[in-house]
């Protein structure tokens, strides 16, 4: 790839050091959540024969995105995004390590596993808006569309390899090792945000309360046809795919 292509092509945002480091680290952090999902689903099949509880693993990981995404976005707009992201990453890593601890102690139960997965989901829900909204501070305006596209590519790359990597870890070492690996995979992103020298911004508007910030976000979506269409398409797609993802561990256990 020539230097001119790098400066003008789809990978142009990677020229900026902070964005490049955070983007590379995001490959690992996105992988972590997917590995957690595989490890938790398989651990649940060993703890219970209930299809409902196995399917609830994905619900526990993803429900925070449904119910807490707007408050998390308001937090990202109201506080230092770098610090919010770092705290959330620490929370996700600690929740995974807690699952490892209770599993090794032999006291892991189905409902305890679901509760800890819910904590992982809360941490990732808090992290995502802070990470995504910080992109505008890492690249200039002309590179922002490309940076957003690269972040989407990062998740798709992790989605392609994450379940396979998680399955390999579970098959070779065990489910507890998958949670330990997930905790370690959050570290590169934590280091990348810690090294990012964020320039303090002078607020152009007075601080907004969380409630009013959420209302403003809902009003924006309500008056944006493009946003409504994108959210509806995402909802319909996820609703169809979630059943497959949630019950696949049972199929693997019973038929393979």
Distance CA 37, CA 83 (A): 26
What pLDDT shows up at residue 221?
74
pLDDT at 198: 78
- Dmax over CA atoms of the chain, in Å, equals 59
What would the two tokens of residue 206 be? 């007075």
> What pLDDT is recorded for position 101?
96
pLDDT along the chain (256 residues), means of 10: 56 88 92 90 87 85 87 86 94 96 93 95 93 89 89 86 87 92 95 85 63 73 80 74 66 63
Q: Return d(Cα 131, Cα 54) in angstroms, integer.
A: 30
- Give how far Cα 177 sits from Cα of 15, 34, 38, 43, 168, Å: 35, 14, 11, 11, 11
Helices and strands (H and E) in the chain: how many = 10, 0
d(C-alpha 46, C-alpha 251), whole Å: 13
171 three-state secondary structure = helix
Residue that is written with structure tokens 């795919």 in the block: 241
- What is the model's pLDDT at position 247? 67
Alpha-carbon torsion, ordered 39, 44, 46, 50, to 10 deg: -150
pLDDT at position 73, please?
87
Distance in angstroms (rounded) separating the CA atoms of residues 160 and 149:
17
Question: Considering the entire predicted model, what is its pTM?
Answer: 0.82
Fold of 12-195+210-255: Growth Hormone; Chain: A; (1.20.1250)
Give Cβ neighbours of residue 166 (< 8 Å, ≥ 6 apart). 34, 35, 36, 37, 38, 39, 178
What count of Cα atoms within 13 Å lies in the side-chain half-sphere of residue 213? 17
């Amino acid at each position: 790839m020539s230097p001119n292509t790098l400066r003008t092509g789809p990978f142009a945002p990677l020229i900026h050091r902070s964005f490049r480091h955070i983007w590379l680290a995001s490959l690992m952090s996105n992988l972590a959540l997917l590995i957690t999902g595989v490890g938790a689903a398989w651990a649940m099949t060993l703890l219970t024969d209930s299809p409902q509880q196995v399917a609830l693993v994905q619900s526990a990981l993803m429900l925070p995105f449904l119910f807490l995404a707007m408050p998390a976005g308001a937090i990202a707009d109201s506080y230092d995004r770098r610090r919010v992201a770092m705290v959330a990453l620490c929370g996700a890593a600690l929740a995974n390590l807690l699952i490892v601890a209770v599993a090794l102690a032999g006291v892991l139960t189905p409902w305890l596993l679901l509760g800890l997965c819910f904590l992982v989901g809360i941490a990732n829900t808090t992290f995502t808006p802070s990470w995504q909204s910080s992109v505008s501070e890492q690249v200039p305006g002309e590179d922002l569309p490309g940076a957003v596209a690269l972040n989407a590519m990062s998740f798709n790359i992790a989605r392609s390899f994450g379940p396979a990597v998680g399955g390999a870890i579970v098959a070779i070492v065990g489910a507890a090792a998958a949670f330990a690996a997930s905790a370690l995979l959050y570290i590169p992103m934590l280091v990348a945000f810690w090294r990012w020298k964020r320039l303090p911004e002078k607020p152009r508007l007075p601080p907004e309360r969380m409630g009013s910030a959420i209302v403003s976000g809902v009003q924006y979506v309500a008056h944006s046809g493009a946003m409504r269409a994108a959210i509806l398409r995402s909802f319909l797609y996820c609703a169809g795919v979630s059943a497959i993802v949630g019950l696949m561990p049972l199929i693997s256990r019973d038929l393979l």
